[in-house]
Amino acid sequence: MSAKGLGTPATRAAIIEGLLTEKYLIREARDLTPTAKAHQLMTLLRGLKVNELVAPELTGEWEFRLAQMQGGTLARDVFMRDIAQMTQTIVSRAKEYDSDTVPGDYVTLETPCPQCGGIVKENYRRFACTGCAFSITKTPAGRQFEIEEAEELLKNKGIGPLSGFRSKMGRPFAAALKLVEDHETQHLKLAFDFGQENEDEASEAPDFSGQTSLGPCPKCRSRVFEHSIGYVCESTVAHPKSCDFRSGRIILQQDISREQMQKLLGAGRTDLLTGFKSSRTGRHFKAYLVQQKDGSIGFEFEKKEKAGRDGKHS
Ligand SMILES: [Zn+2]
Ligand SMILES: [Zn+2]
């Protein structure tokens, strides 16, 4: 490849620095190791059959033709026609796929689905169960899971803290991740854990002696108290723990006041709450929170004709 190499030694160093900055590579002592992000890009390019950008030889070929053009042995318009054609081919191949169907050499996780015990497979963007609707993104907050991390997350329903995440503002942050139940879909979903709930086995059970209970737990009839960032059954935070009932103080951007929690625990339902916002669709909605048969909390929506009369949501 001497005549068809990639760049000059000077530009090569800059290329490698660029790959490090963009987190396609990490430097460990004297080694450069490709990251999951790099593998994902290669998977995409291979899946799209864009071999020109995957194989250094083929990229070197273009450099060689550039040199030929410089030396006058290749006409400029031939070069330009060929490179325009290649670009068109790449773009049209990329358009054939949506992000979930990009073919690739994907992994089947060894750990079963934490929701249903089914087989979880990797696709271009997600790890998805083949047996139920459980799936998680491969790149939460801009950081891509390594396969071993995904295995650990599914096995322990949590991992971390891990560093290397980026906020929407671009600030780096570290956090643990956990799988928590989505109140709306009843499915496990991925959530960041910044450690506000210190309820691991080592921590002490909270003391509720100065507090008034909001009502009986829908699951075990023990007392429910306000705690940390929500409401919790005293048996959920006791050691040993014998219940798992808890509810957020804020559910889908709707503040759940003590008064509403008392109604939910006492009468089995809240008033109509108007400030929910679906995290999936971004739409606002109104709903009652109601106790389900199994003691969990679910939504109940307004009757249809009323919603029609109200017109559009705020
Ligand atoms: Zn499943
Ligand atoms: Zn309980």
pLDDT tens digit sequence for 67-117: 899 899 999 999 999 989 988 988 888 777 766 677 777 899 999 999 999
pLDDT-derived band at 167 (thresholds 50, 70, 90) equals confident
If you measure from the C-alpha of residue 237 to the centroid of ligand 2, how many angstroms do you get, rounded to a whole number? 9
Delineate the domains of the chain, giving CATH numbers in brackets. Answer: 2-95 (1.10.460.10), 120-193 (no CATH), 215-310 (no CATH)
If you measure from the C-alpha of residue 185 to the centroid of ligand 1, how many angstroms do you get, rounded to a whole number? 14
Give the residue carrying structure tokens 């991925």: 190
% of residues, the chain, pLDDT over 90: 37
pTM above 0.85, yes or no: no
Round to whole Å and give the CA distance between 106 and 36.
Answer: 12
If you measure from the C-alpha of residue 238 to the centroid of ligand 2, how many angstroms do you get, rounded to a whole number? 10
If you measure from the C-alpha of residue 244 to the centroid of ligand 2, how many angstroms do you get, rounded to a whole number? 6
Strands 172-181 and 188-193: antiparallel
Q: Categorise residue 170: left if φ over 0, alpha if ψ from -120 to 50, beta otherwise.
A: left
Round to whole Å and give the CA distance between 164 and 169.
Answer: 14
Q: Where are the alpha helices (DSSP H) in the chain?
A: 9-21, 36-47, 56-70, 76-95, 147-156, 258-266, 304-310
- Residue 61: the pLDDT is 85
Tens digit of each residue's pLDDT (9 = 90 or more) over 224-275: 999 866 899 998 888 778 888 988 888 888 889 999 999 999 999 999 999 9
Q: Which ligand is nearest to the CA of 135?
A: 1
Q: Which ligand is nearest to the CA of 232?
A: 2
Round to whole Å and give the CA distance between 50 and 86.
Answer: 9
